[in-house]
Amino acid sequence: MKIVGVAACTVGIAHTYIAQEKLESAGKKAGHEISIETQGTIGIENELSSEQIEEADIIILATDVKVSGKERFEGKRTIQVSTEVAMKSPNKLIKKAEEVVTQQS
């Protein structure tokens, strides 16, 4: 499964990067291809390409603030959670993504 997403916390520093790291680690551990863009105080990093978004089976938005460029994900299966959920339960979140994709296939 291909997963892409965005991590962005209110301050745009620690939680953004921890959420990204936890999600990417959990996704790879589950055998998925995963890329998480970060949006923080220094701007957008690891920006997702339109090709990555197009090929994605699901989008995970682990955000506490408004996401820049959210319209890029219109029409795609999306799960939206707080950065806290992504940091504390990344494996459960990846499982949930698998369930959503399986149910809608």
Q: Kindly report the number of other CB atoms within 10 A of residue 24's CB atom.
A: 19
Let me know if 9 is a catalytic residue.
yes
Residue 25: which region, alpha, beta or left (left: phi > 0; alpha: psi -120 to 50)? alpha
> Exactly one of 9, 56, 59, 86 is catalytic; which is it?
9
User: Quick one: which H or E segment has residue 5?
Assistant: strand 2-8
Active site residues: 9
